[in-house]
A and B are shown apart, each in its own frame.
Chain A
């Protein structure tokens, strides 16, 4: 089946509208907090003795001018939209004079690495377990897997991270406590020793994400599997005398995978922001940790930049899902 061009155009129009509205809302939300990042930064500098109060006032005024924070809100908004449209993310307030795009570039691959691996692994394992548990012709003992998995999925990932750090890093000393790589090794991506060290550091944060998300995938898969097994076409296929494996793979799995794949695409869109708190626990050099810090310090340009980056990721993921959905499920037609 071909994708009609009018549908694609309509869908891209929708995408642009979503991007624009999301950018507007995400501009306004941090402004709602009755706080002033510049004053907070200056107070910090004065407290640490790095500045006198007169010098601080001057510094603060120039910072506000530099970031346009002295202008009325509508003017700031127009500048913001104009900059986002040109992908000009500006400079961080707290880490001045670092560029926001540089910060994103330096941190994003750390997050993409361990979060995408753990997301995909959780999806595959969870879906397989859920499908086997839901399928009535498998061993009943398999369903004993569900309560522990459900329990793990109820625990927030960053709490599990804390437990893992305590047990496996602090007590057993099998893994490093924090960071993305050892400072004792040269940061050289062509050195296999460094790569191994990076992988070693990524195990615990990845495990925290993996264990807490397997449950969700298997629960939804199991529920869908049970529903599909009760459908009339399954009874008919069984009555035709088809083999169990064919029933399972070609009939049941094909129909149940669909919502799973949709959810996976959404999850992939959220990869960038999904691990904010876990990264914080490990002081991991990823983008989520930077976003967490930026939100706490109300570093507007950094928040806007990372959130914009993320919004584009989610919007593109949604677009792809909507475009391939009817290809996966012929029962759904390209409507609106």
Chain B
């Protein structure tokens, strides 16, 4: 944990754990880029008929325009921002629900575990493509759905995979000697989960979050069917994934104190 307080303490910590620092910086940069860019580019161009259709890149339209007259620069910027927001909502909800359910069912077992496992096993069998096509055709106009609605729609299925994966990890970890020790020392189940199991699975949770956000982004692309948005979101997803990977490497020292470096 950081020596010293506040920002200085954090700087000290990052110097000792560069991977963690790099991950955070990369995430901040991505966030800044997606918000700052919207200050300089007007959203109006992102709608059909806003510009001359099929203009090549250059001059007034740095990225050109598409066949229905959308200026591609604002389309990409606002599209990426929306797509990411949807992915984040679905991914974070998916991982939080998955973490709570995974830890509770994996550690405590019992009838609750059987019910959740049953649900997960059933939901795993639904092809996501089928679900997306059905949702997309049931919505009156998917383009008018708000970011929040779309994120929430996707989070209906986003928790299934994390729950299953985390439960499997917890199942194996709860039989370890250090959990036994904690039990014998009189810790309650919740204490063991939060103080012993969680830190051990930190790197795993970071990577799962990246996977869940990724799934949300892909799902939103499927829902909207805006295929021309895809290249930029893919680059952004790749960057997000790398920053989570760095965070995950940085979190290793919680799971394995022997990897902790000193400066």
Contact = CB atoms under 8 A, between A and B. Distances in A.
B127 A318 contact: no
Contacts of A296: 133
B146 interface: no
Q: For the complex, would chain B's binding face be called helix, strand, loop or mixed by DSSP majority?
A: helix
B137 interface: yes
A311 B125 contact: yes
Contacts of B164: 266
A156 B256 contact: no
Given A150-B245, A227-B200, A315-B121, A303 B130 contact: yes
Interface stretch (B31-39, B47-55, B93-101, B166-174): B166-174
Contacts of B168: 259, 262-263
B211 interface: yes
A24 to B, nearest CB: 9
Interface string B98-124: 000000000001100110001001111
A177 interface: no
Contacts of B126: 22, 25-26, 29
A232 B178 contact: yes
A136 interface: yes
B207 A314 contact: no
Contacts of B216: none
A56 interface: no
B218 A307 contact: no
B109 A22 contact: no
B214 interface: yes
Given A150-B242, A227-B255, A291 B134 contact: no
A223 B125 contact: no
Main secondary structure of the interface of A (DSSP, over half): helix
B242 A151 contact: yes
Contacts of B14: none
Contact of A226 (B121, B130, B138, B255): B255
Nearest to A17: B118
B166 to A, nearest CB: 10
Nearest to B124: A314
A155 B238 CA distance: 7
A226 B203 contact: yes
B235 to A, nearest CB: 9
B121 A318 contact: yes
Contact of B211 (A21, A34, A143, A216): A216
Contact of A33 (B133, B175, B256): B133
Given A30-B134, A259-B172, A315-B121, A154 B237 contact: yes
Nearest to B257: A230
A303 B126 CA distance: 11
A85 interface: no
A227 to B, nearest CB: 4
B159 interface: no
B248 A223 contact: yes
Interface stretch (A114-122, A181-189, A328-336): A328-336
A142 B245 CA distance: 15
B175 A331 contact: yes
A329 B212 CA distance: 28
A263 B169 CA distance: 11
Nearest to A14: B118
A220 B114 CA distance: 25
Interface residues on A, range: 35 or more
A159 B245 CA distance: 22
Given A156-B234, A296-B133, A336-B109, A226 B122 contact: no
Contact of A151 (B109, B121, B241): B241
Contacts of A220: 204, 207
A34 B137 contact: yes
B129 interface: yes
Interface residues of B, number: 54
Interface string B167-209: 0110110011110000000000000000000001101100100
Interface in A152-190: 153-156, 159
A47 interface: no
Nearest to B207: A219
Nearest to B201: A227
B165 interface: yes
Interface string A217-231: 001100110110111
B129 A229 contact: no
B27 interface: no
B131 to A, nearest CB: 7
B127 A291 contact: yes
A208 B249 CA distance: 27
A259 B245 contact: no
Contact of B242 (A147, A226, A307, A335): A147
B125 A22 contact: yes
B60 to A, nearest CB: 29
Interface centre among B164, B237, B256 (most CB of A within 10 A): B256
Given A29-B131, A30-B134, A232-B177, 11 more contacts: A21-B122, A22-B126, A25-B126, A33-B138, A154-B210, A154-B240, A159-B230, A223-B255, A227-B201, A231-B176, A295-B127
The 5 A-B residue pairs whose C-beta atoms are closest, nearest first, are A230-B256, A331-B175, A154-B241, A22-B125, A311-B125
Interface of A: 14, 17-18, 21-22, 25-26, 29-30, 32-35, 136, 143, 146-147, 150-151, 153-156, 159, 216, 219-220, 223-224, 226-227, 229-233, 258-259, 262-263, 266, 273, 276-277, 291-292, 295-296, 303, 307, 310-311, 314-315, 318, 329, 331-332, 335-336
